[in-house]
Amino acid sequence: MDDVAEQAKTIFIIGSNTTEQHPVFGTRIRQAVLRRGVKLIVADPRRIDITEFATLHLRLKPGTDIALLNGLMYIILEKGYEDKAFIESRTENFEEFKANVMQYNPELVSEITGVPVTQLYEAAEILGTSKPGAILWAMGITQHVVGVQNVRTCANLQMLLGNIGIPGGGVNPLRGQNNVQGACDMGGLPNVYPAYQQVINEDVRKKFETAWGVPLSPKVGMTVTEMIPAIAEDKIKALYILGENPIMSDPDTNHIRHCLEQLEFMVLQEIFPTETAPYADVLLPGVTFAEKTGTFTNTERRVQLVRQAIPPIGEARHDWEITQEIARRVMEFGQRKADLSAPQAAWNYSSPAEIVAEVAALAPSYAGISLERLDRGERLQWPVKGNDHPGTPILHVGQFTRGKGLFAVTEHIPPVELPDKEYPMLLSTGRVLYHWHGGEMTRRAKGLLEVYSQSLIELNPQDAAQLGLQEAQKVRVSSRRGTIEAEAWVTDRVPPGMVYANFHFPDVPANSLTIAALDPIAKIPEYKVCAVKLELVEA
Amino acid sequence: MPKITINGQEIEVPPGKTVLEAAQLAGITIPTLCYHKDLSPYGGCRLCMVEVQGARLPMASCTLPASEGMVVQTETPKLADSRRTVLKLLLSAYYDRGDNANDGRENELIHWAKFYGVDIEKASLKAPRYEINADPNPFIYIDMNKCILCGRCVRACAEVQGRFVWGISERGFESKVVAGLDEPMLEARCESCGACVAYCPTGALENKLSIGMGKADEIVQTICPYCGVGCTVDLNVKDGKIIRVTSSPEGAVNGMRLCVKGRYGYDFVHHDERLNKPLVREYLLNGTQRPKGADRGKWVEVDWETALTITARKIAELRDAHGADSIGVLTSAKCTNEENYLMNKFARQVVGTNNIDHCARL
């Protein structure tokens, strides 16, 4: 983030409400504009706060990101702004990519995206002439059925401009939770062991079988968006959930409820009795960040030390201890046994430091991470290849991980559920500044709740007038899957025809409206687009 | 590099530094109030005045570029006199009702007044000029009676947060710091990041959630539990409770910056609804069937051993009866790397499934 804030000449934000969702990084972008005159392009259907600082706000229609980016690349190629040396030496598949992009002429792109042709030319000129440029995105790019293709298109743009492997450049996905990067790094995914070592790779599997002293499954597992629906098909019998709240955060809440009702057994390890707790059979009190020691990895792969400040509340226990206790007992009671003499098989950690050491032994990118180094104040971004390795602030310098950068051919595919006669409005969902994710923590923070005490539906003045909305009157928003009622915030942040809801409040569960249409590769739901209708709630 | 002489000490100064910065490099303290190293120099408080050989009058060192051959004195009887006058003038518009609002940070005005032997009691106002705590912002406590118009809040809001909420209105003795057009902070588009509080030298701006809580026993540096930026936060702990969150220049990604959630969203930690005992459904203790439908029956508080044994037996039974892939594990983007590693090991080694995920997609 330092390099983007201090060295980028252009910052292109697409699908990230940076000042509200990554506020501190947002302030650094504002300062980059104010102090260094960075050119800021924001592509977003909503007039989010950061657009006030933008040189250019491309107000595209939701779900048209690929068309927009391909259209910009068409102009970049037309004007000769591309980095020919970079393309020649560092990438492959350029010709096929180019042939595809050349189908996206500005007029066509303007028609698909709603962005005027002149703005497309202005944006392409900024991107092509003010380098290095960084592209930033968040869930506005990924939460689509074409999420993976969206990301690849962002990468295409940066390769085309040669903005890779340099300070102030790069592809910069902003991660939405304190340790979502770390949870992925640690193998909290169905297809990879820690450090993205593939479960389907036999050599890798053997490595972990040797370490853990037990044969391992060669089959890729289910994602969360597959696991819960699989309960209804009788494929999943039990869930062990640590600090997650699917009732608030998963798409199509009514279906999630229906599935969880049928689940045979759920153990939930939590700090609060969340909205998911009614579906649990056992509730185990874990602890908050303030009560634990360990590490979090931030959005720029920076591994940072979490220091315990207060003792656990009541009888709550450290989460690592709880998992260890369950693991020992399951192995004792069940038929599956591990050879506990294998190097990393045992479950007898006496502190988080011992777990850090085990991770370092098995995850090459964390090989040089230790609590001592972090406690000394060393600033480490992975890969940290050994105890003397200083870490890696910039990736892909000189070479991509896979060797050459692959230009992907990506096509505009419309969202699965667009507005129609019956459901004429488009709904997009996300968060607001004062709350966070399912709201479990922020709804229990006094001041935050005081400033933002109830869910508000963002609605354009034109639509409000058409609806005949009176002040402080509630609206009913319905999709094919559910209905919510909430007060409207009449604002031109949203364009006509679009509403925006947050998923922080259980009495206005926005995810009862959302569609569980998934990206075929990432299995991420299309939270940013579904069709709804609006009605007034009679007082 | 230019060479200058401060208090007889010759100092080599990197180009572009001020006399104040040069002095700091040499370990010489010049008193300041409106100056902060993160903010643009203001030259407003006149406390950092120094004598420069050949100059007619003392000059403010925070705005004075260090140039080759300068000879500077920072502590002379004349300067001390002028500082006492400045401090008395500031105190003449200063009123502290002593309501213990101060959070334990040093009040910089009082520090320098004591240092230069000013009679604070005598110099300061006897009655408030402004209503105390007049702004409804739930996080920021305002007592403009303690404001010395140094403008650090104004600059912090503009130069750190980039929000431009604060400004100075009126002239002369009537001058005061106002939000927007002298309106409530939130209406002036305040994002409640608390940067103004963090930079205030006198406690005119304080953390409302911490009023009267005094000084921390201990400050523990850790990482914010909210978004993925990973800001460093200083938890101020007293009697086993977080009484305040502050920022420090040591933060790897944020320095002094924090957002409203990071600085003020900590009290969930001590919320009444925290789970503090293991709970299991009654049917699990009776050895009966789980009630069908949405309601799984009554919760019963149990000891850890009971809860852990029931959990492990259930998972082992279901795994042995239906296969490892009938078990799913949801780990957490809110938990540490070590906890996530163990959940991964639990799913794969103990259960034997790759059914593990978390809300990265959500």
Instruction: Tell how strand B140-142 and strand B71-73 pair up.
Output: unpaired
The type of residue at B38 is D
Instruction: Select from B229, B280, B334 the Cβ nearest to the Cβ of A25.
Output: B229
pLDDT interval class at B287 (50, 70, 90): confident
Q: What angle do CA A389, A394, A396 make, to 5 degrees?
A: 100
A-to-B residue pairs, Cβ atoms closer than 8 angstroms: 491
Question: Cα separation of A197 and B73, whole Å?
Answer: 64
The type of residue at B190 is C
pLDDT of residue B212: 87
pLDDT of residue A146 exceeding 70: yes
- The predicted model gives B251-276 an average pLDDT of 97
What CA–CA distances, in Å, run from A11 to A28, A53, B230, B328?
Answer: 12, 11, 21, 40
Chosen from B206, B232, B334, B346 to mutate, greatest number of chain A CBs within 10 A:
B334
Question: Cα separation of A52 and B154, whole Å?
Answer: 20
3-state secondary structure of B281: strand
- The predicted model gives A6-13 an average pLDDT of 97
Chosen from A209, A265, A371 to mutate, greatest number of chain B CBs within 10 A:
A265
Alpha-helical regions (H) of B133-238: 152-156, 195-199
**Encoding tokens for residue A437?**
């994710």
What CA–CA distances, in Å, run from B91 to A238, A477, B88?
Answer: 68, 58, 5
Instruction: Select from A25, A222, A272 the Cβ nearest to the Cβ of B274.
Output: A272
Helix (H) or strand (E) holding A2: helix A2-7
CB atoms within 10 A of CB B305: 11
pLDDT interval class at A205 (50, 70, 90): very high
pLDDT of residue B193: 98
Are A525 and B274 within 8 A, CB to CB?
no
Question: Cα separation of A311 and A440, whole Å?
Answer: 21
3-state secondary structure of A219: coil
- The predicted model gives A222-240 an average pLDDT of 96
Are A295 and B308 within 8 A, CB to CB?
no
3-state secondary structure of B171: coil
Partners of residue B267 in chain A, C-beta under 8 Å: 444-447
Q: What are phi and psi of B189, to 5 degrees?
A: 70, 25
Question: Cα separation of A280 and A223, whole Å?
Answer: 20
The closest of A298, A300, A304 to A378, measured between CA atoms, is A304
Are B360 and A308 within 8 A, CB to CB?
no
Are A177 and B359 within 8 A, CB to CB?
yes
ipTM of the complex: 0.96
| Domain over B97-107+117-214 is classified CATH 1.20.1050.40 | no
- The predicted model gives B326-330 an average pLDDT of 98
Average pLDDT, chain A: 96
pLDDT of residue A197 exceeding 70: yes
Are B224 and A178 within 8 A, CB to CB?
yes
Chain B residue closest in CA terms to A447: B138
Q: What angle do CA B167, B170, B176 make, to 5 degrees?
A: 55
- The predicted model gives A95-112 an average pLDDT of 98
Sheet with A294-297, strands from edge to edge, namely A294-297, A302-306, A380-381
Rounded to two decimals, the pTM is: 0.95
Instruction: Select from B326, B339, B359 the Cβ nearest to the Cβ of A320.
Output: B339
Least confident of A118-122, B214-218, B346-350: B214-218
Ordered by start, the domain boundaries in chain B are 3-75, 97-107+117-214, 216-273, 279-361
pLDDT of residue B104 exceeding 80: no
Q: Does A467 touch chain B (CB under 8 A)?
A: no
- The predicted model gives A299-317 an average pLDDT of 97
- Find out whether B100 and B127 touch, Cβ atoms under 8 Å: no
Instruction: Select from B162, B275, B351 the Cβ nearest to the Cβ of A316.
Output: B275
Structure-token match 């400040």, residue found: A309
Chain A residue closest in CA terms to B226: A178
Partners of residue A325 in chain B, C-beta under 8 Å: 304, 308
pLDDT of residue B102 exceeding 70: no
CATH architecture of A180-381: 3-Layer(aba) Sandwich (3.40)
CATH architecture of A2-174: 3-Layer(aba) Sandwich (3.40)
**Encoding tokens for residue A382?**
């992975």
Closest approach of A237 to chain B, Cα-based (Å): 5
Q: How deeply is B293 buried, as exposed, middle or buried, from its count of CB atoms within 10 A (0-12, 13-18, 19+)?
A: exposed
Q: Does A482 touch chain B (CB under 8 A)?
A: no
Chosen from B164, B330, B346, B351 to mutate, greatest number of chain A CBs within 10 A:
B330
Q: Taking a contact as any Cβ pair under 8 Å apart, which residues of chain A between 417 and 456 contact chain B?
A: 433-434, 436-437, 440-442, 444-448, 450-451
- The predicted model gives A457-479 an average pLDDT of 94
Q: What angle do CA A519, A522, A524 make, to 5 degrees?
A: 60
Are B279 and A216 within 8 A, CB to CB?
no
**Encoding tokens for residue A49?**
């706060």
CATH topology of domain B3-75: Ubiquitin-like (UB roll) (3.10.20)
For CATH 3.40.228.10, the residue range(s) in chain A are 2-174
Provide DSSP, A360-390.
Answer: HHH-GGGTT--HHHHHTT--EES---STT--
pLDDT of residue B97: 86
Are B228 and A177 within 8 A, CB to CB?
yes
Correct CATH for B216-273 of 1.10.150.110, 3.30.230.10, 2.20.25.90, 3.30.1330.40 = 2.20.25.90
Instruction: Select from B258, B271, B318 the Cβ nearest to the Cβ of A265.
Output: B318
Residues 6 or more apart from B126 whose CB is under 8 A from it? B95
For CATH 3.40.50.740, the residue range(s) in chain A are 180-381
Q: What are phi and psi of A236, to 5 degrees?
A: -110, 130
Residues 6 or more apart from A99 whose CB is under 8 A from it? none
Chosen from A179, A325, A442 to mutate, greatest number of chain B CBs within 10 A:
A179
Closest approach of A379 to chain B, Cα-based (Å): 7
Chain A residue closest in CA terms to B326: A236
CA within 13 Å, CB half, A359: 34
pLDDT interval class at B101 (50, 70, 90): low
Are A441 and B268 within 8 A, CB to CB?
yes
- The predicted model gives A199-220 an average pLDDT of 98
Alpha-helical regions (H) of A221-271: 224-232, 246-249, 253-262
Q: What is the CA radius of gyration of chain B?
A: 29
Chosen from A180, A198, A266, A279 to mutate, greatest number of chain B CBs within 10 A:
A180
Q: What percent of chain B has pLDDT over 70?
A: 99
CB atoms within 10 A of CB B116: 17
pLDDT interval class at A276 (50, 70, 90): very high
Partners of residue A447 in chain B, C-beta under 8 Å: 138-139, 192, 208-209, 264-265, 267
Closest approach of B306 to chain A, Cα-based (Å): 10
Q: Taking a contact as any Cβ pair under 8 Å apart, which residues of chain A between 64 and 103 contact chain B?
A: none
pLDDT of residue A214 exceeding 90: yes
Instruction: Tell how strand B299-301 and strand B327-330 pair up.
Output: unpaired
pLDDT of residue A54 exceeding 70: yes
Question: Cα separation of A375 and A365, whole Å?
Answer: 19
pLDDT of residue B100: 64
Chain B residue closest in CA terms to A27: B161
**Encoding tokens for residue B141?**
């406590």
pLDDT tens by residue, B137-147: 999 999 999 99
Chain A residue closest in CA terms to B282: A281
Structure-token match 């102090």, residue found: A35
CATH topology of domain A425-536: Barwin-like endoglucanases (2.40.40)
pLDDT of residue A384 exceeding 90: yes
CA within 13 Å, CB half, B28: 21
- Find out whether A91 and A156 touch, Cβ atoms under 8 Å: no
Q: Does A121 touch chain B (CB under 8 A)?
A: no
The 3-state secondary structure of A127-142, one letter per residue: HHHCCCEEEEECHHHH
Closest approach of A87 to chain B, Cα-based (Å): 32
pLDDT tens by residue, B46-89: 999 999 999 999 999 999 999 999 999 999 999 999 999 999 99
Are A214 and B327 within 8 A, CB to CB?
no
Residues 6 or more apart from A477 whose CB is under 8 A from it? A427, A457, A483, A484, A485, A486, A499, A501, A513, A532, A533, A534
Please list the residues that pair with A139 across neighbouring strands.
none
What CA–CA distances, in Å, run from A191 to A149, A194, A245, A424, B355?
Answer: 19, 10, 22, 39, 9
